[in-house]
């Protein structure tokens, strides 16, 4: 039967990110004077976020409740779950609980941000328990595309919550650590208040491909190839990396590592004994030149066509030390992330121009998702049998589809909640309600600046990228408004000055007319007003003659 304890407090669950979007995962659990966080992730910038490096959740709600914030619990080591940890720790000195690999990846980040002294890291293992005030948490083994993924069973005074983390049900995992059906099932027998379940792959029917099947497809490629093999893969996908390393050993190839994150992650995995990859099987760039092509395997980053990645630079023949050549086989062992398709296809075309053969997920089964497909999502609901169901981790359509799936499984519609970022889900003795929204949002990180790039700045960047820039500079006498120098017109990204000089000459005439008119009106000089007038008239001029709207920046010096 469902766990119930006498209480008149409301158990609040508030997503601060990750619901209605891919990435940015962060969830608040709040009871009485205690708040804990589940995950602190980032998202990578969308196309319209020009110049932005990463995006992190807005911590406003946490600042308002700083004295109650107790701990951060992390489900696994992907960027969309740990990427915001350094920014969180800068502002909140709280302990962090996670699995060994997850904490090792977090530690590496904290070193880069000079925050090691601020970190209080607590290692947890599957089936271990911790107490954080009114929250009693058991960590449950799940399968994902990175080792050490954890689901959470969270006992609270209002009942037990299950948070799935990112998961799939893989019965043949590479490391032998199977999805712990027994523990999820045991909690289901006991009674669950609410299930919060990963929605990323809800649109995919059937079951997610096992990582072992990917290994079989990779083995076929190794059997076929006599030249160099270059495998591009996410550096966090240690299961895939392990299979590739084993195949290299089997087929007498030695391994060159390429890409900073690849080198770092493999070092961490070796230190934790999560990877069977002896150092003697690795080669340097100097050794690469001495080996025959049939004995070479390269493991590299850049499977998503990232502009500065090693693979992209190799494709464009811009890498100082590595070149693609005829006879090479390039394996892009990852999914084409939506939005990256055009970039990846461009990389593929350039790799073919270099004489290589390219194999990707659309032609061979060389990638397996780390997320559960529909049949596995059904299995999770059947195991847990919650009173309430709340889909998490996905864009809005994923949440809708997952809610519909729960209802197909027999759950009442009123018990399947569609929740977005900032909505407060309150569990109390009367049941469940969705109360007021709290402040949420996205904070842009651009270089060393955190939060100083906002909507207006992005709007200006978009404007500049689409319409270009015109700078009009002049020097005038403050008493007479007589023009002492200029006007000079500088154009960037607007028109080619030599191709259409008459346009810029016309712009100068517009400025002369503005000054003549103001002199006739006995205008009292105000630089800001003068700049506004010049901007307004140039805007009208460029719209009339070209139907374009560049960013116009007048610079007026007064002497």
The model's pLDDT over 79-105, given as tens digits with 9 standing for 90+, comes to 999 999 999 999 999 999 999 999 999
What's the pLDDT at 4? 42
Q: Is residue 491 in a domain? A: yes
- Lowest mean pLDDT, pick from 250-264, 465-479, 528-542: 465-479
Q: Which of 24-28, 257-261, 461-465 has the highest average model confidence (pLDDT)?
A: 24-28
Same domain, 228 and 195: no
Q: Is residue 135 in a domain? A: yes
- pLDDT of residue 52 exceeding 70, the answer is no
Determine contact, residues 500/468, Cβ cutoff 8 Å.
no
Mean pLDDT of all residues in 264-287: 94
CA distance 267 to 223: 28
- pLDDT of residue 355 exceeding 70, the answer is yes
What single DSSP character describes residue 273? T
What's the pLDDT at 34? 97
Is 318 noted as a catalytic residue in this protein? no
Phi-psi domain of 162 (left: phi exceeds 0; alpha: psi -120 through 50; beta: other)? beta
Q: Is residue 2 in a domain? A: no
Which residues have CB under 8 Å from 99's CB, separation 6+? 76, 77, 123, 124, 125, 126, 139, 148, 149, 150
Q: Is residue 1 in a domain? A: no
Same domain, 301 and 381: no
Pairing state between β 329-332 and 357-360: parallel
Give the bridge partners for 556, in sequence order: 474
Same domain, 198 and 217: no
- pLDDT of residue 316 exceeding 70, the answer is yes
Mean pLDDT of all residues in 374-394: 97
Determine contact, residues 55/72, Cβ cutoff 8 Å.
no
CA distance 7 to 428: 8
What's the pLDDT at 146? 96
What is the percent of the chain with per-residue pLDDT over 90, rounded to a whole number?
Answer: 63
Q: Is residue 5 in a domain? A: no
Task: Please list the helix, strand and coil fractions of the chain in percent, rounded to the nearest 5, in that order.
Answer: 35, 25, 40
More confident residue, 177 or 504: 177
Same domain, 410 and 472: no
Same domain, 100 and 153: yes
- pLDDT of residue 49 exceeding 80, the answer is no
Mean pLDDT of all residues in 238-252: 96
Q: Which two tokens stand for residue 442?
A: 């996205």
pLDDT band for 121, please (50, 70, 90 cuts).
very high
Please count the structural domains in the chain. Answer: 3
What's the pLDDT at 249? 96
What's the pLDDT at 202? 97
Q: Which of 414, 447, 480 is the last residue of a domain?
A: 447
Same domain, 232 and 181: no
Crossing angle of helices 527-546 and 501-520, rounded to 10° = 140
Q: Which of 340, 360, 380 is the last residue of a domain?
A: 360
Mean pLDDT of all residues in 289-308: 88
Determine contact, residues 158/11, Cβ cutoff 8 Å.
yes
Crossing angle of helices 260-271 and 238-250, rounded to 10° = 90
What is the percent of the chain with per-residue pLDDT over 70, rounded to a whole number?
Answer: 91
Q: Is residue 310 in a domain? A: yes
Determine contact, residues 230/331, Cβ cutoff 8 Å.
yes
Q: Is residue 6 in a domain? A: no
Pairing state between β 296-300 and 229-232: parallel
Same domain, 482 and 412: no
Same domain, 80 and 15: yes
Residue with token string 């689409």? 466
**CATH number of residue 171's parent domain:** 3.60.15.10
Mean pLDDT of all residues in 444-458: 57
Same domain, 510 and 428: no
Same domain, 55 and 191: yes
Q: Which two tokens stand for residue 298?
A: 């390269």
Q: Which of 410, 430, 447 is the last residue of a domain?
A: 447
| DSSP H or E stretch at residue 464 | helix 455-467
Give the bridge partners for 424, in sequence order: 435
CA distance 486 to 473: 7
CA distance 104 to 272: 9
**Taking all residues of the chain, what is their mean pLDDT, rounded to a whole number?**
89
- Lowest mean pLDDT, pick from 236-250, 256-270, 313-327, 507-521: 507-521
Is 117 noted as a catalytic residue in this protein? no
Catalytic residue among 80, 170, 198, 328, which? 198
More confident residue, 131 or 317: 131
pLDDT digits (tens, 9 = 90+) for 408-427: 999 999 999 999 999 999 99
**CATH number of residue 494's parent domain:** 3.10.20.580
What's the pLDDT at 1? 34
Cis peptide before 487 (omega within 30 of 0): yes
What's the pLDDT at 464? 61
- pLDDT of residue 2 exceeding 50, the answer is no
Provide the domain limits for residue 356: 211-360
Q: Is residue 144 in a domain? A: yes
Same domain, 230 and 283: yes
Catalytic residue among 371, 393, 398, 402, which? 371
Q: Which two tokens stand for residue 213?
A: 């099947």
Crossing angle of helices 211-224 and 238-250, rounded to 10° = 30
**CATH number of residue 343's parent domain:** 3.40.50.10710
Q: Which two tokens stand for residue 58?
A: 């807005």
- pLDDT of residue 6 exceeding 70, the answer is no
Residue with token string 């969270």? 154
- pLDDT of residue 270 exceeding 80, the answer is yes
Same domain, 20 and 66: yes
Q: Which two tokens stand for residue 318?
A: 């811009």
**How many CB atoms neighbour CB 523 within 10 A?**
15
């Amino acid at each position: 039967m469902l766990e119930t304890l006498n209480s008149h407090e409301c158990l609040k669950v508030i997503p601060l990110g990750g619901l209605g979007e891919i990435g940015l995962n962060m969830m608040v659990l709040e009871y009485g004077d205690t708040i804990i966080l589940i995950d602190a992730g980032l998202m990578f910038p969308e196309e319209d976020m020009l110049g932005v490096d990463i995006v992190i959740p807005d911590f406003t709600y946490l600042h308002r409740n700083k004295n109650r914030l107790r701990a951060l619990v992390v489900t696994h080591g992907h960027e969309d779950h740990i990427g915001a940890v350094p920014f969180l720790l800068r502002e909140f000195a709280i302990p962090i609980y996670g699995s060994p690999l997850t904490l090792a990846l977090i530690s590496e980040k904290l070193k880069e941000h000079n925050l090691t002294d601020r970190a209080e890291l607590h290692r947890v293992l599957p089936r271990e328990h911790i107490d954080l005030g009114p929250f009693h948490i058991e960590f449950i083994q799940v399968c994902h595309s990175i080792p050490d993924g954890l689901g959470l069973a969270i006992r609270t005074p209002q009942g037990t919550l299950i948070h799935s983390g990112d998961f799939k049900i893989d019965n043949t995992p590479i490391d032998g650590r199977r999805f712990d059906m027994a523990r999820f099932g045991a909690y289901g027998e006991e009674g669950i208040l609410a299930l919060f379940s990963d929605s990323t792959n809800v649109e995919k029917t059937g079951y997610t491909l096992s990582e072992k099947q990917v290994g079989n497809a990779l083995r076929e490629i190794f059997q076929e190839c006599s030249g160099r093999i270059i495998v591009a893969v996410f550096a966090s996908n240690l299961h895939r990396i392990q299979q590739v390393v084993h195949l290299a050993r089997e087929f007498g190839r030695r391994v060159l590592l390429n890409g900073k994150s690849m080198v770092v992650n493999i070092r961490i995995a070796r230190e934790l004994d999560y990877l069977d990859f002896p150092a003697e099987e690795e080669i340097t760039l100097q050794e690469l030149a001495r080996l025959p092509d049939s004995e070479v395997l390269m493991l590299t980053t850049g499977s998503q066509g990232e502009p500065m990645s090693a693979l992209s630079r190799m494709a464009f023949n811009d890498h100082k030390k590595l070149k693609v050549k005829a006879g090479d086989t390039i394996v892009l062992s990852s999914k084409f992330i939506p939005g990256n398709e055009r970039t990846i296809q461009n990389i593929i075309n350039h790799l073919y121009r270099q004489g290589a053969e390219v194999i990707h997920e659309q032609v061979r089964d060389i990638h397996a998702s780390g997320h559960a497909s529909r049949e596995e999502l059904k299995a999770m609901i059947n195991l847990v049998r919650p009173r309430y169901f709340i889909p998490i981790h996905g864009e809005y359509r994923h949440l809708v589809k997952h809610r519909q799936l729960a209802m197909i499984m027999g759950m009442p519609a009123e018990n399947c909640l569609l929740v977005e970022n900032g909505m407060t889900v309150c569990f109390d003795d009367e049941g469940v309600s969705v109360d007021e929204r709290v402040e949420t949002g996205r904070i842009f990180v651009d270089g060393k600046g955190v939060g100083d790039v906002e909507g207006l700045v992005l709007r200006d960047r978009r404007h500049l990228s689409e319409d270009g820039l015109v700078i009009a500079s002049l020097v005038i006498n403050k008493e007479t408004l007589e023009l002492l120098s200029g006007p000079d017109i500088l154009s960037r990204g607007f028109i080619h000055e030599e191709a259409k000089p008459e346009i810029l000459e016309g712009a100068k005439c517009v400025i002369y007319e503005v000054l003549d008119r103001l002199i006739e009106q006995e205008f009292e000089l105000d630089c800001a007003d003068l700049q506004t007038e010049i901007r307004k008239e140039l805007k009208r001029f460029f719209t009339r003659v070209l139907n374009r709207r560049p960013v116009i920046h007048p610079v007026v010096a007064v002497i």
